[in-house]
Amino acid sequence: MPSTRRSSPSVVPEQLGFDGMPERLFVCTPSKLGAYADCPRRYRHSYVDRPAPPKGPPWAHNSLGASVHTALKNWYALPTASRELDALPKLLKATWVREGYRDVDQERVVYRAALRWLETYVRGLDPADEPLGVERVVATKTAVLAFNGRADRIDSRQGPDGPEAVIVDYKTGRSGLDADDARGSQALALYAYAASRVFRRPSYRVELHHLPTGTVAVHEHTEESLDRQVRRAEQTARDIMAAERAVAGGADADAEFPTNPGALCSWCDFRKSCPAGKEAASKDPWASVEHLTE
């Protein structure tokens, strides 16, 4: 029996309302869906409240991640002959985000760690490889979603039935990653789902590249597993739209967008504006990079 893995997913038509006109699609990115899944109150503060509550100070780990991601993007933007290790210090300095660190000394230590990660990672790359996209926006529509997202990298690789699009996501956090992280990532699945349409080729393989440890977590999706992730995203979108309609109709916003207290509260940008967040232990903006200075 032929496998269903390699068949391209079919395009889903827009959902029709009772009057025969297409219903409004929910415009979203992975971060928008993730915000609601993590905590509906955080979603509300980020996307519904206007003006939004004030955010806390910038986080050093966000600055670090943005710096490394942009340096890798600019490495691929170089001519092939210039993609060398010697180019990395200049690239990282040019993209370095200085916000959130405790002091200049900590910032310098973290910068040196980031440069080591980049040098180790780039040694394993072929400078002649040209990805399908770097920091590439991919977009698609379903019956519920108008999805778009920016993938760190989309590689072109040869599969058993021809060229495939492989989703690559860079990670710079402290914790290592495994195949379960790649399998469970809704963002990677949605990137793959959209990439298959944008590039007109199969996209099932997703990879998390953890630069601090040099590990690569891999998952091979199937058409069925991608479809499950899309349906999950659609249900989240329906929940969000229902809550937004209820608030617009006069319902209590706190009830429609409840808090989800947990470990993430300490790292939330809106902690000081949320009663549950205020009860969480406070974290310094540089807390998640302190281990690099030990």
Check residue 22 and give its pLDDT: 55
Check residue 244 and give its pLDDT: 97
Check residue 21 and give its pLDDT: 52
Q: Is the pTM of this model over 0.85?
A: yes
Peptide bond into 51 cis (omega under 30): yes
Over the range 58-89, which residues count as b (16 or more CB within 10 Å of their CB) and which as e? Answer: ebbbbbbbebbbbbbbbbbeeeeeebeeeebe
Residues of the chain with pLDDT under 70: 1-22
Check residue 266 and give its pLDDT: 94
Check residue 160 and give its pLDDT: 87
Check residue 159 and give its pLDDT: 87
Number of other CB atoms surrounding residue 45 within 10 Å: 21
Report the alpha-carbon distance of residue 186 to residue 191 in Å, rounded: 9
Close Cβ partners of 196 (under 8 Å, ≥ 6 residues apart)? 8, 9, 165, 202, 203
Check residue 176 and give its pLDDT: 80
Answer yes or no: are the C-beta atoms of 10 and 235 closer than 8 Å. no
Rg (CA), the chain: 21
Report the alpha-carbon distance of residue 213 to residue 117 in Å, rounded: 8
Where residue 18 falls (left for φ over 0; alpha for ψ -120 to 50; beta otherwise) is: alpha
Beta bridge partners of 138: 149
Check residue 13 and give its pLDDT: 42
Token digits of residue 199: 């590039």
